[in-house]
Chains A and B, each alone.
Chain A
Amino acid sequence: MSADIQQSNPILEIKNLTVDFGGVRAVNDVTLSLQPGEFVGLIGPNGAGKTTVFNLITNAIQATSGEILLNGKSILGKSPDQICRLGISRTFQNIRLFPQMTAYENVELGLHSTPHYSLAEAFVRTPRASRVEKQTHQKALELLEVVNLREFARERASSLPYGLQRRLEMARAMATSPQMLLLDEPAAGMNEDECKDLIRLIRQIHESMKYTMIMIEHHMNVVMDLCRDSRIYVLSLGSLLTVGTPTEIQTNPQVIKAYLGERKNG
């Protein structure tokens, strides 16, 4: 397995990534690499630095040292919007939709965050600009369809139920036509049934859109199910603890120790 990984070019490579917040080392020497189209999980106890890794990839915070390569090119020091345009999109742990905009408008924003016509055309609305608007409209509705939110298109994002807001965030992230999708706890706060729907949805998105995906998740059954053909990275206290298939992770004593602590008399 490791042989053919080295043969093809990784889409994302993180090398010795480290970040300090004051005196606290939040992420310590993390190295990982992803092949195009892979779906990997990122797990770890609370405070392990999982979301910080996402924030570092999208440059919401700056790394202290280390390197992040997208398709072999460093994206360190690029602004979050540039990184988005290079093809990395994400969702947020604590949902960050545009609350007063409708579901449709939220998705649409991802499509036109770089306007597809000039400022002058915005004022005069030339036929070309109207055509662009129409295409964007169509595309946004299609994306809503993918996450089964078509009927909520005209609802305000803040008025949607929690689970739908998560799905809407995914549609918005997909709207930026990324190569890579970073999902930050998509199943947070969901019950068993909702988790099953979500697993189906994420798998369908992954298969149809061919994104490379990293998912942070605490629901172990969601992670184990979605990553069953690939691997899971385990972070603990900022460092990479281990990498492996779901079964390997489940039986790894180190992982169990990180999650549950150590038996005193054991």
Chain B
Amino acid sequence: MGYLEAIIILSGINIIAVMGVSILTGYTGLFTIGHAGFMALGGYMSAVMVKEFHLPVILALIIGGFFAGLCSFIIGYPSFRSQLRGDYFAIATLGFSEAIRLVLNNTKTIGPLNIGGAFGYMNIPSATTVPMVVGVLIVGLYLAHMFVTSQFGKNCIAVSQDETAAQMMGVNLLRTKLIALFVSAFYAGVAGGLMGFYFAYLSPSFFTITQSSNLLAAVVFGGIQSLIGPVITAFVLIAIPQLLLVFSEWRLVIYGFLFVIVMIFRPQGLLGYVEMNMNFARVLWNKLLRRKTVDVIEG
């Protein structure tokens, strides 16, 4: 039971971070390989809030998310101002997240606070439970859905499809991208917070480029402009390595192989452009109804 629980919690945490990456990469078209940095910022911030200031966990998570979101402006403003995009922006985020990791690695104390440096931040109150992760996940998914279907989200999609045309139609590129980055970093920050409260311990070594690229992989794998795709793949990508443990090193090969297959046959990702909605159910229902009426007429 404990093992299953661990998988659910860990994949839940990853899914929350992946939703953030999906908003930025899938919907706004900005590739990021630095979201582990935002997870670290949010994680440490929420841990400090609970451990040192004894705030309620949920409030601490929100503060952590906001903190990560605000810090995202540090990298977002200059890079969007100078119109970095594509690989260049991805490299910038990578640099930012590595910088955060190294700073945390080398910071033992901030004033009276002991955050442990490379040893990690210890004795964080343990608070993350399965219902809590699932609760945050559902609320997060709902809010993300609201965001991407809002006027802000639709502007993000337009920016991802044709930046010049979007700007000519009056979309403020800088503001739209900063909002997407903020929301995205918020999600990563909350995920980082949940991570700290689960392990009761945070170490800079959690937040390496491997973590960032896993998040990006889930989005690319799951599909751009889709929330449900990345959510499913994020779960699968956590679960599959566990299932494939018997194959030891070979699992990474299988993992890579799956990626190549998907990229060849579905470059837009498994569920690319598939929105989370009930359209398929409506279509099915209509079909059923039609068949019934046809039956009636023929009968």
Contacts and interface: CB of A to CB of B under 8 A. Distances in A.
Nearest to B165: A96
Interface in A108-160: 108-110, 112-117, 119, 122-125, 129, 132-133, 136
Contacts of A236: none
B288 interface: no
A113 B165 CA distance: 11
Interface string B170-187: 111100000100000000
Given A119-B179, A122-B147, A98 B153 contact: no
A163 B92 CA distance: 41
A115 B155 contact: yes
Interface string B224-254: 0100000000000000000000000000000
A58 B166 CA distance: 13
Contacts of A90: 168
A85 interface: yes
Given A119-B179, A124-B146, A110 B161 contact: no
A72 interface: no
A80 interface: yes
A206 to B, nearest CB: 20
Contacts of A97: 162, 165
Interface string B156-167: 011001101111
B9 to A, nearest CB: 25
Query: Which of A58, A96, A117, A176 has the largest number of chain B CB atoms within 10 A?
Result: A96
Contacts of B80: none
Contacts of A173: 169
B205 to A, nearest CB: 34
A75 to B, nearest CB: 14
27 contacts: A81-B171, A81-B173, A84-B167, A84-B168, A84-B170, A89-B169, A90-B168, A92-B165, A96-B162, A96-B164, A97-B162, A98-B166, A100-B161, A101-B161, A105-B154, A110-B169, A113-B172, A114-B171, A115-B150, A115-B151, A115-B155, A117-B151, A119-B179, A122-B153, A125-B146, A129-B150, A176-B170
Rank and list the top 5 A-B pairs by shortest CB-CB distance, nearest first: A122-B150, A113-B170, A84-B170, A115-B151, A112-B151
